[in-house]
Homo-oligomer: A and B are copies of this chain.
Amino acid sequence: MISYRLEATSGHARAGTIVTRRGDVPTPAFMPVGTQGSVKALSAQEVAATGARLQIMNTYHLWLRPGPERVAELGGLHEFCRWPYAIATDSGGFQAFSLAERTKLSEDGFEFASHLDGTRLKLTPEEAMRIQGLLGADIAMPLDVCPSGSASPAEVVAAVERTTRWAERCLVARSPGQALFGIIQGGANVELRLAHAETLGRLPFQGLALGGFSVGEPPALMHRALGEIGHRLDPNRPRYLMGVGTPEDLLIAVGAGIDLFDCVMPTRNARNGQAFTWSGKLTIKNARYRDDPLPLDPECRCSACRGGYSRAYLRHLFVAGEILVLRLLSEHNLTLYARLLEQARAAVVAGRYADFAAERLAVFRNLADTGDSG
């Protein structure tokens, strides 16, 4: 089980600690995404060296391969993946909806065909809890219904109601000792979100998550909704914004009172050759870096930057298709994300979060312009 300790606030922004039996997680915190039990291109030690102390892994993928029974027999995810710190797992519902084929949604759950071999599978709230219990994460997520950004108001309401019923079933079916967060839906409808937050807040979840953001809506809409919702979530529990986002998104969400994030962006963009730096984005394959002897970011502490790898060498590796560069850029981006939230935490403790966020946003605004908010 986990607990949350609130330590300081600055406006709505919070500094706290999630206490787990696998160590403390200072918040706000970003969770690197280890989809299939590995943050792509990185070893567990390298992920830890970026500063991360909580990793999120993917129930859908690990269910299909290698299978939760196998993971359990091999000692659970921590032992299997050699990650000694805390792990969260999502419920698998999002992938059952977005990645699997011929998905049918009913009150019972999702029925779908595996994207790997077409096997017909069924994911119910109870099955999601059983799988996550076997995987052995510190924090599990309940099965929820996540409507798309273009869903009708009626569809959004129906999704909220079913998500509540499933949340209650997950609480009954949860594994002993495993923390469970409630997932708040409601799209961009702030009233609906707040009502759902109140409903779920009455249930014994260890944290509250905002699902269904960053599903195609304009970033400004999400930012506005977060400003209305974030600080109204129960202050005694960690608040998790699922699947978000850019450095700008993180700064705005922390200002709205959010504590926890996950997103594939820093690692996925790295593999596409994009580095986030303290002075803006850097697309390593650009010809302008051909002869550039500087590191990616002279202000960065990551092993790529401290190791003396020049932009010219990194560009060469990227253009030549060398695997090493995928790792170096991934380490760099995750380090920047972790450092950004460490700095945010320090600013909260110092009581100057608004100033800090305004300074950083001025730099990162051009990054958000990529429109790449996966």
The interface residues of chain B lying within 8 Å CB-to-CB of A293 are 74-75
Query: Of all chain B residues, which has the CB nearest A40?
Result: B323
The reply to whether the CB of A317 lies closer than 8 angstroms to some CB of chain B is yes
The reply to whether the CB of A224 lies closer than 8 angstroms to some CB of chain B is no
Once the chains bind, are A323 and B41 in contact (CB under 8 Å)? yes
Once the chains bind, are B40 and A74 in contact (CB under 8 Å)? no
List the one stretch of A152-160, A163-171, A178-186, A302-310 in contact with chain B.
A302-310
Chain A facing B: main interface SS: loop
How many angstroms from the CA of A40 to the CA of B36 in the assembled complex?
23
Q: How many copies does the complex hold?
A: 2
The reply to whether the CB of A104 lies closer than 8 angstroms to some CB of chain B is no
As a 0/1 sequence over residues 301 to 328 of chain A, the CB contacts with chain B under 8 angstroms (1 = contact) are 0000001111011011101101110111
The interface residues of chain B lying within 8 Å CB-to-CB of A5 are none
List the one stretch of A19-27, A65-73, A187-195 in contact with chain B.
A65-73
Query: Of all chain B residues, which has the CB nearest A309?
Result: B82
Interface residues of A in 82-129 (CB under 8 A from B): 82
The interface residues of chain B lying within 8 Å CB-to-CB of A41 are 323-324
Query: Of all chain B residues, which has the CB nearest A293?
Result: B74
How many angstroms from the CA of A40 to the CA of B320 in the assembled complex?
11
How many angstroms from the CA of A36 to the CA of B81 in the assembled complex?
31
The reply to whether the CB of A290 lies closer than 8 angstroms to some CB of chain B is yes
Once the chains bind, are A322 and B36 in contact (CB under 8 Å)? yes
A314 CB, min distance to chain B CBs, angstroms: 11
Once the chains bind, are B310 and A74 in contact (CB under 8 Å)? yes
A283 CB, min distance to chain B CBs, angstroms: 17
The reply to whether the CB of A37 lies closer than 8 angstroms to some CB of chain B is yes
Once the chains bind, are A74 and B38 in contact (CB under 8 Å)? no
How many angstroms from the CA of A309 to the CA of B74 in the assembled complex?
11
As a 0/1 sequence over residues 41 to 58 of chain A, the CB contacts with chain B under 8 angstroms (1 = contact) are 111010000000000000
A330 CB, min distance to chain B CBs, angstroms: 9
Once the chains bind, are A291 and B74 in contact (CB under 8 Å)? yes
Known A65-B320, A316-B37, A323-B40: A73·B291 in contact at CB below 8 Å: yes
How many angstroms from the CA of A42 to the CA of B312 in the assembled complex?
18
A157 CB, min distance to chain B CBs, angstroms: 38
Interface residues of A in 180-228 (CB under 8 A from B): none
Known A73-B291, A74-B313: A323·B326 in contact at CB below 8 Å: yes
Query: Of all chain B residues, which has the CB nearest A81?
Result: B313
Once the chains bind, are B40 and A322 in contact (CB under 8 Å)? yes
A61 CB, min distance to chain B CBs, angstroms: 8
How many angstroms from the CA of A327 to the CA of B45 in the assembled complex?
14
Once the chains bind, are B36 and A70 in contact (CB under 8 Å)? no
Once the chains bind, are A316 and B66 in contact (CB under 8 Å)? yes
Once the chains bind, are A70 and B291 in contact (CB under 8 Å)? yes
Once the chains bind, are B319 and A38 in contact (CB under 8 Å)? no
Once the chains bind, are A38 and B322 in contact (CB under 8 Å)? yes
Once the chains bind, are B80 and A38 in contact (CB under 8 Å)? no
Once the chains bind, are B307 and A82 in contact (CB under 8 Å)? yes
Once the chains bind, are B313 and A80 in contact (CB under 8 Å)? yes
Once the chains bind, are B82 and A312 in contact (CB under 8 Å)? no
Taking beta carbons and an 8 Å cutoff, which residues of A are in contact with B? Answer: 36-38, 40-43, 45, 61, 65-66, 70, 73-75, 80-82, 290-291, 293, 307-310, 312-313, 315-317, 319-320, 322-324, 326-328
**7 further contact pairs, Cβ within 8 A, besides A40-B324, A43-B328, A82-B309:** A36-B317, A40-B323, A45-B307, A66-B316, A70-B290, A70-B291, A82-B313
